[in-house]
Amino acid sequence: MAVSESVSVLNRSSDGLRDGEESVAGDAALVASLKSGHPEAPAVFFDSYGEYVERLLLRVLGPDREAEDLLHDVFVQAFANIGQLRDPSRLKAWLGRMTVFVARGALRRRRRGRWLVFMPAQELPDQKSTSTPPESRDLLDRVFAVLRGLHPNDRIAFSLRYIEGLTLPEAAGAAGVSLATFKRRLKKSDNAFLARAQHHDHALYETLLETPRWRNPHE
Amino acid sequence: MNERLQGLGAEVARIQDEALVDSRHRAAVRARLLRGPVPSAPPASRFGRPALGLVFASIAVALVLAVWPRESEVIRYSAGERSVSSQLDEWIEAPNGQTLPIVFSDGSTVQLSPGSRARVRELSAVGASVELERGEANVHVHHASETRWSVEAGPYVVHVVGTRFRVQWEPSDEAFALEVFEGAVRLSEPRGTRRVSRSDGEVRAQLRPTVPVEPQPQPETEPIIERSPAPTPAVPASRAAVATPSSRGVAQTHRTSSDANSVSYRPPSAPLELRLPPKTAELVADEPAASEAPVVAEADPPSTPSEESAPVSEPAWKELTEKSEYEKALSSLSPQQFEELVWQGDASDLVHLAAAARRTKDARAGYIYTVVRSRFSGTDNAANAAFMLGRMQFHAGAPQAAAVWLETYLRERPDGRFAREAAGRLVEAYVRAEDTGRAEAAAQRYLARHPAGPHAALARSVLQ
């Protein structure tokens, strides 16, 4: 692969480019606009952070038939509570925490629902992406099938740390718990994930143990 | 094993990211979200954080002393014949022709009228939060030394300490009613918060206007932003359009439904409409010839003002930008003026302002371009803003985000003025992001269309 050579070509060709001239911040102004009730601020807010929230929901819940509703819920809550955000520079973190909160609510609701309905909500068919290759979809299905057996808090810890790839402090912040608590949950989620994989999807467990394919890319 | 799990997680994320490229769900939610009434921000607390902390600390100490040594117990409830429970978010519906009482262990009751539907959203040791989805509820909250009770009905929230009242909510016509029989409550509504007591009688509010709104001609095709102010029979002159229920209601009748991505939201009642020029200036029309040399600012404003887009009296900031005194231009605007300009100015104003911000490395440049994308959705200016955002993200060291914006530009303007540079920068972005597959695909596309372009060497090196 010629990526490394390309990087050097790029570096040569773009000397002088990296003047750090701009960054897309503007969160303070956006928050001020939302608080003051600018008519188009909600649209800008959604355009700026809609994908981020959708991604975070996807990380925690996997392909989900309620995804649209939950994305909607997060923004409704954000609009309703934006007045409580004191530090606009924390907008993204604040929204992330709200997203995790909504996702946790959905997970808890389903967990409770298992005992109340004939067909467990977790077994309802999830939203399938037609663009995802079958083998990739299979991996997603199997990973999230194992994750469904975890306690919502542990599942969130797993998703934020391993799938979204947040650092421990970031993930603890998003989960709304202390670093120590998050570490405890993560350890619990590790053990629970492996134990469930071993019992319910041995192939996944074996692959996880033996295949170098899933080594940490940052190693 | 920890590393293996991280590797597995990274693989899952990669697969999920491919699904995220499909933005249809997002577009649907966007349309839904902006069509309905957006809950307004509650007023900021009058207390500072330290003072609030002291208040909470005092309450906590008082609570501990009050219940010591026994632990405080979360309130439980029973609904009709159901057994006592602490279940949250379970819908409770009163059958037709019959009321249904929800009895709480703190002595409070919520009596649902026939056909009404509600659920308990939250339970604590000092209160509960009940959401009334539709119908009517007669509420009696037992007063205690520390009580935190609330009833939500649509966008309205009734905060209670101890009182008796009736609340009604009909989502079909967004009609809300509240009548306090004893004591007082605090009502949070889209307009703000107020105290309601028995002496106020019945409080009624409706989000949607009751008067019929005249049908708009060709609502599916005409972008809202370019309309002249429409007749707004039930709209107050308040500027806070987001927080004005009636204006929201009218706005719904003006929304197009054909394409959520191509329509920007603007309640026609907003007074700022009056200042909008009859047409929006297209950024590219005033641009100097674009260069694809990476350091050239292709979308900078012209050195001479455009006669057509100039207002009657040229604002000081604009004159300063024409003299290339960008910092002075930006500092001549107070924060409030800046906000007004961003939200009320025409496209030409915003393009000038964004270019000034970009040249002075002012972080607000990205904000302005984002607003352009929203306010002038579907226009060349919006597409060009995507290109500029892509460039900015690239320079800010975020090649993946840059690629998203550049792809957006190329999707919206495949033959646009900046198409060649966008295609080239896309190759750069993917290379920097070390996204081999996409870098190769972008390089192939670039060479197919621009074999002699300035990024051709880079594209070939990617494919070697």
Using a CB–CB cutoff of 8 Å, tell me whether A23 touches chain B.
yes
- Residue B228 has what pLDDT? 34
| pLDDT above 90 for B426 | yes
d(CA A124, CA A147): 15
Q: Has residue B265 been placed in a domain?
A: no
Write the CB contacts of B116 (distance below 8 Å, at least 6 apart in sequence). B93, B94, B100, B132, B134, B135, B136, B137
Residues on chain B touching A161 (C-beta within 8 angstroms): 6, 9
CATH architecture of A26-126: Orthogonal Bundle (1.10)
Q: Examine the domain organization and report whether B291 and B196 are in the same domain.
A: no
- Residue B39 has what pLDDT? 56
User: What range defines the domain where residue B200 resides?
Assistant: 72-206
Give the Cβ contact number of residue B218 at 10 Å. 7
Q: For B411-421, what is each residue's pLDDT tens digit?
A: 888 888 889 88
Choosing from B163, B181, B206, the residue where a domain stops is B206
Q: For A108-164, what is each residue's pLDDT tens digit?
A: 887 765 554 443 444 344 455 555 667 777 888 888 888 988 899 999 999 999 999
Residues on chain A touching B359 (C-beta within 8 angstroms): 21
Q: For A84-96, what is each residue's pLDDT tens digit?
A: 888 888 888 999 9
- Residue A186 has what pLDDT? 93
- CATH code, domain carrying B453: 1.25.40.10
Range 188-207 of B in CB contact (< 8 A) with A: none
- Residue B38 has what pLDDT? 58
Give the number of A-B residue pairs with CB atoms closer than 8 Å.
274
Q: Examine the domain organization and report whether B103 and B201 are in the same domain.
A: yes
Residues on chain A touching B22 (C-beta within 8 angstroms): 129, 131
- Residue B422 has what pLDDT? 92
Residues on chain B touching A217 (C-beta within 8 angstroms): 7, 10
Q: Examine the domain organization and report whether B156 and B297 are in the same domain.
A: no
Q: Has residue B258 been placed in a domain?
A: no
Q: Has residue B31 been placed in a domain?
A: no
Which of A106-115, A187-196, B12-21, B179-188 has the weakest average pLDDT? A106-115
Pairwise CB contact (< 8 Å): B361 & A41: no
Q: For chain B, what is the domain count? A: 2
Q: What DSSP letter does each residue of B17-74 carry, written as one string?
A: HHHHT--HHHHHHHHHHHHSPPPPPPPPPSS-HHHHHHHHHHHHHHHHHHHTTSPP--
d(CA A47, CA B27): 9
Q: For B346-393, what is each residue's pLDDT tens digit?
A: 888 888 888 888 888 777 888 888 878 877 878 888 888 889 888 888
DSSP B296: S
| pLDDT above 50 for B395 | yes
Q: Examine the domain organization and report whether B287 and B415 are in the same domain.
A: yes
Most confidently predicted of B2-11, B132-141, B247-256: B132-141
- Residue B44 has what pLDDT? 43
| pLDDT above 60 for A181 | yes
Q: What is the fold of A128-219?
A: Arc Repressor Mutant, subunit A (1.10.10)
Q: For B196-235, what is each residue's pLDDT tens digit?
A: 877 777 788 766 544 444 444 443 333 333 333 333 333 3
Q: Examine the domain organization and report whether B201 and B328 are in the same domain.
A: no
- CATH code, domain carrying B188: 2.60.120.1440
Pairwise CB contact (< 8 Å): B358 & A214: no
Give the Cβ contact number of residue A202 at 10 Å. 10
Using a CB–CB cutoff of 8 Å, tell me whether A24 touches chain B.
yes
| pLDDT above 50 for B145 | yes
- Residue B347 has what pLDDT? 85
Choosing from B188, B206, B224, the residue where a domain stops is B206
d(CA B406, CA B395): 13
| pLDDT above 50 for B277 | no
Write the CB contacts of A129 (distance below 8 Å, at least 6 apart in sequence). A63, A137, B18, B19, B22
Which of A207-211, B314-318, B420-424 has the weakest average pLDDT? A207-211
Res. B41 pLDDT band, cuts 50 70 90 = very low
Q: Has residue B407 been placed in a domain?
A: yes
Pairwise CB contact (< 8 Å): A34 & B19: no
Q: For B50-61, what is each residue's pLDDT tens digit?
A: 556 666 666 766
Q: Has residue B11 been placed in a domain?
A: no
Burial class (CB in 10 A: 0-12, 13-18, 19+), B253: middle
| pLDDT above 60 for B312 | no
**ipTM field:** 0.77
Domain ranges of chain A: 26-126, 128-219
The tokens of B19 are what? 């699904």
Pairwise CB contact (< 8 Å): B239 & A21: no
Residue B157: helix, strand or coil by DSSP?
strand
Q: pLDDT higher for A45 or B193?
A: A45
Residue B175: helix, strand or coil by DSSP?
strand
- Residue B55 has what pLDDT? 66
| pLDDT above 80 for B176 | yes
Q: Has residue B124 been placed in a domain?
A: yes
- Residue A54 has what pLDDT? 92
Res. A183 pLDDT band, cuts 50 70 90 = very high
Nearest Cα residue to A55 out of A165, A217, A168, A192: A165
Determine what percent of chain B is predicted with pLDDT higher than 90. Answer: 4
Q: Has residue B393 been placed in a domain?
A: yes
Determine what percent of chain B is predicted with pLDDT higher than 70. Answer: 65
